[in-house]
């Protein structure tokens, strides 16, 4: 019983109530059986109280419609509904009937979800009123260990500025377009060798996970996972295990399972051991990189092609800031999430929609060839330059529409906390209320977007629907916005442009006739989207 009470975070309340019992009720509980009865009764009372707060919104938020906590838990953990199915079953009617504002329960408690442009703009732009919730206090979970106690995504104030001081210039200086192009070329060489026939089918989601892992390894800290070319890559398998364990919704919703009941969960213990191995590898890389750069800060690598870790440590050696090894590893963990998982799904979703819309695919291919091959199309790979990507107007529209319809991030990883009473879209939000922007809901809100379930890149054409929304709030926020906008936004967009351009030149593609994704792309239900075994049929052009 004591372990169960401690796991639920009730031990402090229990101790105080037992103190009251010992002081005032001891004369009535002078036998062991009576004392046990009192302890059990108090524990059950506290458990019921905890469950009541979990299933019933607080009084000061009951004016806002809510999704039942048990429905949320059941849909995520038991039924494992996809993000789109969750939206259709629970969220869509609420955002339509209540101006995109509702509350739901998650691991932080009851959170106000906003899904209209005006409210999103208010939350993103007023970071003094809506600072990020301090989740660094949630120690001991797999997720918290992966990104460390201090990183650029989760901390606030001076702590955040310390990280931003080194990371921001690194991202501005680093835009490894050549690396992106060479990684794409290596992928095509591998596919030619693995599939010598003119047509082949491949799990494209998995392929992009391999490709973007290779890229973030090299661009992030000059480490090659060899995920594309080596089916038995040790570190790819390790990282896959880590990612799968991080996405488990049960442990996301109930962090106390990691914190208090790990001794009772052998599979979860193994998950922590796997993470130990991965973090040990990262720490070794950071130590080695520090030593190499300390001895010779100057090297012959072009500035834009240097890895992010190198750029950050070089800035540190120049006296521009200081981060500990643990802080650097925390930032690398964030770079993995922001630069690998998200970009892998964005590319997967883009290829999926182009497979379903061959006319759009062909129009994009013609644009790419006109930019890269104005004098005729050579039958060979071309390394795209940063300047050339600026001419990919239609391809950029496709990327933006993909990120609207199936953006990689469903909702902000951490909610914001209102520092004062505030009105959002006519709704009173009391001080200390948790607030989050549900990006998926916003991008699928029928009051914001015309036919939101339709794939239509033309809505991002100059002067079209997306342009007309400017000034009315923030309706397209796949990378968030404001001072805490995703630091890797331009990095990811450039990577997508280069790889999609290479794919369009090399192949045409379509969905297999028996694809389970024929009606919609089937995904999981974690904060970071991922496709479930999405096979694509490719046909070589040269």
Per-residue pLDDT of the chain (542 residues), as tens digits, is 444 445 445 555 555 555 555 555 555 555 666 656 665 666 666 566 666 567 789 999 999 999 988 888 888 888 888 899 999 999 999 999 899 999 999 888 899 999 999 999 999 999 999 999 987 667 889 989 998 888 888 888 888 999 988 888 888 888 999 999 999 999 999 999 999 999 999 999 999 999 999 999 999 989 999 999 998 999 999 999 999 999 898 898 888 899 989 999 999 999 999 999 999 999 999 999 998 888 875 567 788 889 999 999 998 888 888 888 889 888 988 888 777 889 999 999 999 999 999 999 999 999 999 999 988 878 788 999 999 999 999 999 999 999 999 999 999 988 999 999 999 999 999 999 999 999 999 999 999 999 999 999 999 999 999 998 877 789 999 999 999 999 889 999 999 999 999 999 999 999 999 999 999 999 988 888 999 999 999 999 99
CATH code at position 319: 1.10.630.10
Question: Using CA atoms, how far apart are residues 133 and 123, in angstroms rounded to an integer?
Answer: 13
- Asked if residue 408 belongs to a domain, the reply is yes
Looking at residue 8, its pLDDT comes to 47
Looking at residue 42, its pLDDT comes to 61
Looking at residue 7, its pLDDT comes to 46
Question: Using CA atoms, how far apart are residues 510 and 352, in angstroms rounded to an integer?
Answer: 8
Whether 34 and 158 map to the same domain: the answer is no
Q: Which of 55, 70, 94 is the last residue of a domain?
A: 55
- Asked if residue 174 belongs to a domain, the reply is yes
Whether 310 and 424 map to the same domain: the answer is yes
Which stretches within 69-134 are classed as H helix? 69-73, 83-86, 92-97, 117-125
3-state secondary structure of 417: strand
Whether 354 and 239 map to the same domain: the answer is yes
**Main-chain phi, psi angles of 503, to 5 degrees:** -65, -40
Q: Which of 9, 27, 55 is the last residue of a domain?
A: 55
- Asked if residue 75 belongs to a domain, the reply is no
Looking at residue 77, its pLDDT comes to 84
Question: Using CA atoms, how far apart are residues 412 and 478, in angstroms rounded to an integer?
Answer: 10
DSSP state of 105: E
Looking at residue 540, its pLDDT comes to 97
- Complete DSSP assignment for 26-55: GGG--SHHHHHHHHHHHHHHHHHHHHHHHH
Q: Name residues whose C-beta falls within 8 Å of residue 257's C-beta, 6 or more positions apart in sequence.
A: 7, 250, 251, 265, 268
- Asked if residue 94 belongs to a domain, the reply is no
Whether 295 and 438 map to the same domain: the answer is yes
- Asked if residue 348 belongs to a domain, the reply is yes
**Residue 494 near residue 386 (C-beta atoms within 8 A):** yes
Whether 280 and 151 map to the same domain: the answer is yes
Question: Using CA atoms, how far apart are residues 89 and 17, in angstroms rounded to an integer?
Answer: 42
Question: Using CA atoms, how far apart are residues 380 and 304, in angstroms rounded to an integer?
Answer: 25
**Token pair recorded at residue 422:** 């505030």
- Asked if residue 523 belongs to a domain, the reply is yes
Whether 263 and 380 map to the same domain: the answer is yes
**Main-chain phi, psi angles of 391, to 5 degrees:** -90, -5
Whether 148 and 31 map to the same domain: the answer is no
- Asked if residue 201 belongs to a domain, the reply is yes
Question: Using CA atoms, how far apart are residues 303 and 179, in angstroms rounded to an integer?
Answer: 12
**Token pair recorded at residue 262:** 């790990």
- Complete DSSP assignment for 142-185: HHHHHH-SS-TTT--HHHHHHHHHHHHHHHHH---HHHHHHHHH
Looking at residue 265, its pLDDT comes to 93
Whether 208 and 308 map to the same domain: the answer is yes
Q: Where in the sequence is the domain holding 335, given as residue range(s)? A: 142-540
Other beta carbons within 10 angstroms of residue 502's beta carbon come to 23
Which stretches within 247-307 are classed as H helix? 249-253, 256-259, 266-295
Cα angle for residues 266, 271, 276 (degrees, 5° grid): 120
* Strands of the sheet with 535-540, listed across from one edge: 199-203, 535-540, 507-510
Whether 148 and 286 map to the same domain: the answer is yes
**How distant, in Å, are the alpha carbons of 182, 352, 406, 512 from that of 536?**
23, 8, 18, 6
**Residue 437 near residue 146 (C-beta atoms within 8 A):** no
What burial class does residue 267 get, using C-beta atoms within 10 Å of its C-beta: 0-12 exposed, 13-18 middle, 19+ buried?
exposed
Q: Which residue has the tokens 């109930």?
A: 254
Q: Which of 37, 55, 73 is the last residue of a domain?
A: 55
Inter-axis angle of helices 489-506 and 342-356, to 10 degrees? Answer: 40
**Main-chain phi, psi angles of 103, to 5 degrees:** -120, 150
Considering its fold, how many domains does the chain have in total?
A: 2
**Residue 439 near residue 409 (C-beta atoms within 8 A):** yes
Question: Using CA atoms, how far apart are residues 308 and 303, in angstroms rounded to an integer?
Answer: 10
Tell me the pTM: 0.87
Other beta carbons within 10 angstroms of residue 281's beta carbon come to 15
- Asked if residue 126 belongs to a domain, the reply is no
DSSP state of 286: H
3-state secondary structure of 478: strand
Looking at residue 400, its pLDDT comes to 98
């Amino acid at each position: 019983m004591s372990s169960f009470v401690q796991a639920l975070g009730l031990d402090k309340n229990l101790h105080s109530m037992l103190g009251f019992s010992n002081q005032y009720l001891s004369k009535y509980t002078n036998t062991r059986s009576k004392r046990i009865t009192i302890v059990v009764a108090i524990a059950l009372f506290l458990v019921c109280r905890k469950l009541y707060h979990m299933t019933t919104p607080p009084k000061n938020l009951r004016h806002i419609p809510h999704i039942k906590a048990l429905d949320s838990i059941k849909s995520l953990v038991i039924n494992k509904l996809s993000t789109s199915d969750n939206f259709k079953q629970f969220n869509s009617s609420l955002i339509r009937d209540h101006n995109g504002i509702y509350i739901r329960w998650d691991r932080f408690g009851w959170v106000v979800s906003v899904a209209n442009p005006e409210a999103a703009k208010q939350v993103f732009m007023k970071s003094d009123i809506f600072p990020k919730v301090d989740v660094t206090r949630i120690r001991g979970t797999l997720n918290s260990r992966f990104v460390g106690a201090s990183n650029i995504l989760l901390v606030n104030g001076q702590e955040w500025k310390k990280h931003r001081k080194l990371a921001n210039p690194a991202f501005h200086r680093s835009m490894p377009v050549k690396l992106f192009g060479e990684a794409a070329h290596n992928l095509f060489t591998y596919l030619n060798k693995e599939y010598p026939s003119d047509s082949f089918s491949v799990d494209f989601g998995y392929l992009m996970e391999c490709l973007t892992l290779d890229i973030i390894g090299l661009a992030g800290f000059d480490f090659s996972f060899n995920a594309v070319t080596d089916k038995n890559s040790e570190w790819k398998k390790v990282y896959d295990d880590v990612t799968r364990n991080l996405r488990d919704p049960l442990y996301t919703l109930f962090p106390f399972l990691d914190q208090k009941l790990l001794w009772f969960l052998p599979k979860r213990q193994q998950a922590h051991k796997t993470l130990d191995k991965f973090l040990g590898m990262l720490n070794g890389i950071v130590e080695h990189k520090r030593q190499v750069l300390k001895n010779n800060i100057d090297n012959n690598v072009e500035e834009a092609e240097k890895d992010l870790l190198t750029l950050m440590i070089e800035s540190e050696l120049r006296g521009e800031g200081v981060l500990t090894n643990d802080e650097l590893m925390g930032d690398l963990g964030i770079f993995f999430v922001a630069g690998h998982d998200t970009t892998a799904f964005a590319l997967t979703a883009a290829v999926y929609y182009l497979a379903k819309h061959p006319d759009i695919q062909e129009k994009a291919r013609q644009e790419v060839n006109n930019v890269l091959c104005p004098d005729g199309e050579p039958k060979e790979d071309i390394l795209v330059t940063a300047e050339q990507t600026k001419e990919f107007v239609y391809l950029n529209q496709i990327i933006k529409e993909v990120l609207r319809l199936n953006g990689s991030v469903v909702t902000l990883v951490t909610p914001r906390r209102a520092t004062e009473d505030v009105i959002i879209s006519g709704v009173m939000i009391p001080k200390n209320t948790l607030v989050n922007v549900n990006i998926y809901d916003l991008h699928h809100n029928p009051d914001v977007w015309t036919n939101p379930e339709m794939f239509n890149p033309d809505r991002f054409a100059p002067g079209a629907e997306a342009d007309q929304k400017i000034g009315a709030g923030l309706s397209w926020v796949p990378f968030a916005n404001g001072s805490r906008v995703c630091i890797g936004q331009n990095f990811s967009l450039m990577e997508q442009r280069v790889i999609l351009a290479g794919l369009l030149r090399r192949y045409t593609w379509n969905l297999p006739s028996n694809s389970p994704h024929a009606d919609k792309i089937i995904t999981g239900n974690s904060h970071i989207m991922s496709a479930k075994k999405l096979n694509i049929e490719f046909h070589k052009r040269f």
